[in-house]
Structure 1
Amino acid sequence: MGDALLFFPCPGQRGLPVGVAAPQGEGHRSPAPRGRPNRPPPMHQDLLDLLLALDRVPQDPRWHPEGDALFHSLQVFDLARRETADRSLWAAALLHDVGKAFAAADHAEDGADVLAELVCPRVVWLVRHHLHLLRAPGPTKRRLRRTRALADLARLRRWDLGGRSPAATVLSPEAAVELLLGGADLSLLSIGGEPAPAHDLRKELA
């Protein structure tokens, strides 16, 4: 049998994951040459630890009826990977709320600061600014008019809003990180990879 991806039917059933065979191209890896075992990329465990820290982190049920921040993040990731092949957008979707596990005030800001030591500047920028279309939609749209950055933020915002179903079926955290990094060009996704947009909306819209 091929590699398996674990799916969580809903928060209340996380203790009973169901194994589902991974489609070719999504999480599938060819066996490593003899004597050279497959090893996860260096950032793998760090990203997984940040994601696992979101388990049971509560969210306001008025805006997040789906439950905790981990279940939400896995839903957002699933929406992203179904709509685009852009791994940086996948990463931003999966990691956009990692700051909720430890942030006292601004989870977007604090989460981005932690990710700055792990992933490329473009992903950090998207996480840092992922709430700007909620907090200051008009000024953000005017400042980023006709840019890829605005299109990226709009998609991330749409996925963020869409990932709020109490009955969704999602990948396990381990499978999500494996899918994100498996087959990715890590030179683009890692520190020093894809550059951030030139705009710092925290200063420009202050």
Structure 2
Amino acid sequence: MKDSKLRRQIAFEAARLMYSRQETEYFQAKIKASRRTVRGWVKPADLPSNAEVRDQIQVLTRLHETDADARHGRLGRMRLRALWWLRQLDAHHAKLIGSVLTGSVRDGSDIDIHVFGNHPDTIADEVDSLGFACQVVRKQVVKDGQPRVFTHIRIDDEFPIELTVYPLKWIGHRFKSSITGKAIERASASQLEKLLVFAHDYDAASLSTSLQQIQGRPDRFQVFQALMVPLENVVQSPRWHPEGDALYHSLQVFGLAKDESPYDEEFLLAALLHDIGKAIDPDDHSVAALEALDGYISPRTAWLIAHHMEAHKIHDHTIGARRRRRLASHPWFEDLLLLGDCDRGGRVAGVSVDTLQQALDYIESIEEMFGGDPVQPSWSPHDDEPIR
């Protein structure tokens, strides 16, 4: 196979992985794509560039997202939301970067913002005080053989928000793009206001009104509790659920999941919340659950809840071969099988379970219990951010 053809194939597969959100980092996407494309080892120098992968992602976006008006409308809403966050985070010298600024958004794009502060947890506390759930994540990325650590704050909002936190001493640094090698574009709140007026037909009055309508959301654990409590009154068929009501069943499933993966918040939430739709629409409880939880759970938790009934069909060998192959190819398939095991195991009458509040408190405290000490970067900053 010619090198040019191989590079194109790897670039396309890496783009597909990133477009589908299976990978978010260029380097990891290219490594996984090379393993799927070539039997054997590919030297890093022979991999496609980030720019080549980015170009293929844009091809996929044009292919699958053909409604230009819808894309422009979503871009305007994302920029408005970004402006609101820039204003909230003004004390941290917030700057918008990435696809929302450049206009190359696609389904699932994040709003990427650079903020500066020596204590990321303090910034996270400020986000929490606004009524938004967030998570501090320290991610190590290998670039040119050198490990580099990025500190992110991921915020659950109408659109995913990712803050990248840098020390205050880097405020004046001009970050370089891993795609072009040039300084990345970035915008302050005032610059983004001008863009909204120019590109999205806002004026000062309409922009002010729209920003005032953006409010903080309820704490997600309050939402979870409100959705779980009605399950106590959901009576289930003794044939399938001899243990009793749906709340007692859900707490049993949570307990079994905690024994299997005590540190995995997304999996534990799927175990606890998988049946909340039974108190909303018993005829299609999975869809009802996802609608109620929209914006409050991760894509992985949502996928597990969406397919938890199929896990039983896999166990009973009643699922179609084609459907099973499709599920088996998914990166969270093994998690789905484990959730199915916990779901079937959580049907025993009389066993002791945590209270609902104990279960929610445990999940909320996972990061503190298992997060470990912060990892401090020891490298000079430059932009190595994923496409959004």
Distance 1:79 1:139, change over 3 A: farther
Instruction: Tell me which residue corresponds to 1:112.
Output: 290
SS of residue matched to 1:113: helix
Cα RMSD (Å):
2.3
Name the stretch that deviates more: 50-59 or 157-166: 50-59
| Matching residue's letter, 1:98 | I
Instruction: Tell me which residue corresponds to 2:237.
Output: 60
Structure 2, gaps ≥5 residues long: 1-124, 134-218, 314-318, 369-388
Does residue 94 in structure 1 map to residue 272 in structure 2?
A: yes
Does residue 131 in structure 1 map to residue 309 in structure 2?
A: yes
Instruction: Tell me which residue corresponds to 2:36.
Output: none
Instruction: Tell me which residue corresponds to 1:171.
Output: 354
Aligned ranges 1:1-206 → 2 under 5 Å: 42-84=219-261, 85-135=263-313, 136=319, 138-184=321-367
Q: Deviation per CA, 1:13-60: give whole Å up to 9, x if none.
A: xxxxxxxxxxxxxxxxxxxxxxx9xx9962111111111111121111
CA contact (8 A) 1:141 1:150 kept: no
TM-score by length of 1: 0.66
| Matching residue's letter, 1:72 | H
| Matching residue's letter, 1:167 | G
Alpha-carbon separation, structure 2, partners of 1:73 and 1:180: 14
CA contact (8 A) 2:250 2:273 kept: yes
SS of residue matched to 1:142: helix
| Matching residue's letter, 2:278 | K
| Matching residue's letter, 2:309 | L
Number of corresponding residues: 149
Q: Between Structure 1 and Structure 2, which shows a larger proportion of helix residues? A: 2
State the identity as a percent.
37
Q: Which has the larger radius of gyration?
A: 2
**Which one has more relative contact order, counting CA pairs under 8 Å at least 6 apart?**
1
TM-score by length of 2: 0.36
Q: Deviation per CA, 1:58-81: give whole Å up to 9, x if none.
A: 111100000000000000000001
Alpha-carbon separation, structure 2, partners of 1:133 and 1:169: 25
1:122 is displaced (CA, Å) by 1.3
Structure 1, gaps ≥5 residues long: 1-35, 186-206
1:133 is displaced (CA, Å) by 2.5
